[in-house]
């Protein structure tokens, strides 16, 4: 396996909502303490609504020949599975409303992720924006806001800016995207989470 493929797999957008929330809880243990009695349930709902159920939907669409592969190389076949992902993530958000009542920053992170996927579904009808950079751009947006508010996220912020650059290069090297699609993905993802967390 090539290094570019490994980077694309490890930094796959499907992992990003869970990763952002998990790192937030690690760096802000007060939030983890607030949720300590429900953490297992919260992680379970997140894993199923952002990863398991969207993957099942994609496999089902592959069986129906609506999607050619997990890669979804053509932008035209991405919209339907992305809209289904929005539904699953929104359902997860609904289930987490009460559990995350005292941690609005986490609710805002998840809401931002839903908006990013919705925008990806709409844009993908017309253009092949980079889903990978949308995902990691969202994580960078989260860490920018958390750095502004709490000041404990500088190293994570710098790390994910670096990883974003590596991921962008990897996607271009794989000929999965051009520069415009990579930059647009990163900026849209970053902007959505930034605005959502600041406004929420």
pLDDT in tens, 25-45: 999 999 999 999 999 999 999
Provide mean pLDDT across the span 108-124.
97
| CA count, 13 A, side-chain hemisphere, 23 | 21
Provide mean pLDDT across the span 120-130.
95
Q: Which segments of the chain does DSSP mark as H helices, in order?
A: 3-10, 16-27, 29-34, 39-47, 53-63, 79-96, 104-123, 131-149, 154-173, 179-199
pLDDT in tens, 33-84: 999 999 999 999 999 999 999 999 999 988 988 888 777 777 788 999 999 9
Distance CA(77)–CA(43), nearest Å, equals: 29
The mean-pLDDT minimum among 6-10, 75-79, 156-160, 191-195 falls in 75-79
Q: How many other CB atoms are there within 10 angstroms of residue 22's CB atom? A: 14
Domain spans, the chain: 3-199
pLDDT in tens, 134-158: 999 999 999 999 999 998 889 999 9
Predicted local confidence at residue 68, as pLDDT: 80
pTM of the model: 0.94
Judge residue 2's burial from the number of C-beta atoms within 10 Å of its C-beta, 0-12 exposed, 13-18 middle, 19 or more buried: exposed
The residue with greater pLDDT, 200 or 45, is: 45
């Amino acid at each position: 396996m090539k290094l570019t493929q490994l980077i694309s797999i490890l930094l796959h957008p499907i992992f990003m909502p869970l990763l952002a929330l998990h790192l937030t809880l690690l760096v802000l243990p007060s939030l983890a303490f607030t949720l300590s009695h429900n953490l297992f349930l919260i992680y379970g709902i997140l894993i199923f609504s952002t990863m398991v159920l969207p993957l099942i939907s994609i496999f089902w669409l592959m069986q129906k020949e609506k999607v050619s592969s997990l890669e979804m190389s053509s932008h035209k076949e991405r919209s339907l599975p992305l809209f289904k992902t929005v539904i699953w993530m929104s359902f997860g958000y609904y289930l987490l409303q009460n559990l995350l009542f005292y941690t609005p920053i986490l609710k805002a992170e998840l809401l931002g992720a839903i908006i990013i996927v919705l925008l990806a579904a709409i844009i993908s009808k017309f253009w092949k924006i980079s889903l990978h950079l949308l995902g990691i751009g969202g994580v960078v947006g989260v860490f920018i806001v958390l750095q502004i508010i709490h000041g404990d996220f500088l190293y994570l912020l710098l790390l994910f800016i670096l990883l974003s650059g590596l991921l962008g290069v990897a996607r271009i090297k794989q000929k999965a995207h051009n520069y415009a699609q990579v930059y647009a993905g990163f900026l849209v993802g970053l902007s959505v989470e930034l605005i959502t967390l600041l406004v929420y």
